[in-house]
Structure 1
Amino acid sequence: MLRTRLLIAPLRTAIHRPALSSRHIRPFTAAMSTISDVVTKDHRELESYYNEIIQSNDPDHQERFGNQFTWELARHSVAEELIVYPAMEKHMGERGHKMAEDDRKEHHRVKELLKEFQSLKPSNPEYVPKLRELWGVLSAHIEEEERSDLPALEAALSKGGAVSTAGEESAAMAKTFDRTKMFIPTRSHPSAGENPYFESAMGMLAAPMDRLMDIFRKFPEQPASAGPK
């Protein structure tokens, strides 16, 4: 059984932590986790998968974590578009609308690059360079979200109401975010766009086929003692 150690750190700094499991990652369900918590958790996991690929010379290892990276990023991106960005527009007015539109544009570029990457195998000389190109765009997007977008959203949720109420709303968003990731496509489909209504309909069509094909793809294997994720 393959056992790995993933590299986790703030962006551009890597340290070791125990291995994450396969693609069947259990939703983050700590008490009162905020939407910022669950989004940031995804960011750290994506970074860990990226590090696993670029720091390995084993094609099998790279393929497994490349599929894991694709699986997580595809789901994460659509979940943000369906849950987080509409919340920015609802609670932050014109500022939130501009931030959400900027984020959607960045997401579309990420999806285009992810579609190119997911079609490659580690034997292709473009495999790692394409991933590095993708990560360059994605890491800048992640930094902006964590530095500006998510704190602004949390502040907007708490504005004009009790902190406990705001915390409950953020926690409810976090749960919806994780539930949404269970039902959306696991591969990149840039042609679906970033409109929540159109994307939801396209996702309902694409997700079953993506998940069927996942059965035939290699992923990091889960330690037997870890239990189902």
Structure 2
Amino acid sequence: MSRISDVICNDHKDLKAYYQRILQAEDEDEQTRWQNMLTWELARHVVGEELVLYPALKKHLQEDAVEDHQKHQMIKDKLAVFQSLRSDDPRFMPTVAVLMDDLAAHVTHEEKIDLTNLEGAISEEESKRLALSFERTKHFVPTRAHPSAPDRPPYQTAIGLITAPLDYLQDLFRKWPEPEETLDHDAPQE
């Protein structure tokens, strides 16, 4: 069973890989498929962190994650713009590049400071419990960015339970990479 830092770092690696697939795509259709995959994973990841990781940081390290929430809000704002763009839009590549640059800075801080400090403050059992909670949470949260939605429990949870089914329904009509190409076995399929 994985620790919380393992599952979050694995998500970070997957996000980077999806971005690389966008950059390496041979045509706009392929870019759209990977755009949907990156959006799907990043939206779920961000909300999962807000619901599981940030409360754990506050509880175990007495750190208010205000700065992390602000960075997440900035990422959600940029993701909302990116997810709305067609791959033939001239803003598509610059927008995803800025989004991923901002995400990279956030990821570096999170992996080197937040997760390291948290793992040092909790037991291995608690870390595994948080990891399981994080993975479960991602199954019930929205799959698109909703930057104007509340970003703190309990309002975030309530709004997520309302918007997630709508996102999942819309996902049925989106284009996705072939299942064998994705890194996430729970990824939507056409």
TM bin, normalised by shorter chain, reads over 0.9
Give the AA of the match of 2:44: R
1:90 alignment counterpart: 59
Is residue 145 of structure 1 aligned with residue 110 of structure 2?
A: yes
Alignment of 1:112-151 (within 5 A): 112-151=77-116
**Structure 1 ranges of 4+ moved more than 3 A:** none
Determine helix, strand or coil for the equivalent of 1:40: helix
Equivalent-residue separation in structure 2 for 1:187 and 1:68 (angstroms): 10
1:111 alignment counterpart: 76
Equivalent-residue separation in structure 2 for 1:43 and 1:223 (angstroms): 19
TM-score (norm 2): 0.93
Give the AA of the match of 2:148: S
Q: Deviations over 1:68-95 (max 9, x none)?
A: 00000000000000000000000111xx
Contact 1:108 1:193 in 2 (8 A): no
The equivalent position to 2:165 in structure 1, one of 192, 204, 208, is 208
Q: Deviations over 1:52-81 (max 9, x none)?
A: 102224111100000000000000000000
Greater C-alpha Rg: 1
1:188 alignment counterpart: 145
The equivalent position to 1:154 in structure 2, one of 119, 132, 145, is 119
Determine helix, strand or coil for the equivalent of 1:191: coil
Equivalent-residue separation in structure 1 for 2:180 and 2:83 (angstroms): 25
Equivalent-residue separation in structure 1 for 2:154 and 2:120 (angstroms): 27
Determine helix, strand or coil for the equivalent of 2:179: coil
1:16 alignment counterpart: none
Contact 2:150 2:159 in 1 (8 A): no
Is residue 50 of structure 1 aligned with residue 50 of structure 2?
A: no
Runs of at least 5 residues in structure 1 that lack an aligned partner in the other structure: 1-30, 158-165
Query: Which structure is higher in helix share?
Result: 2
TM-score (norm 1): 0.78
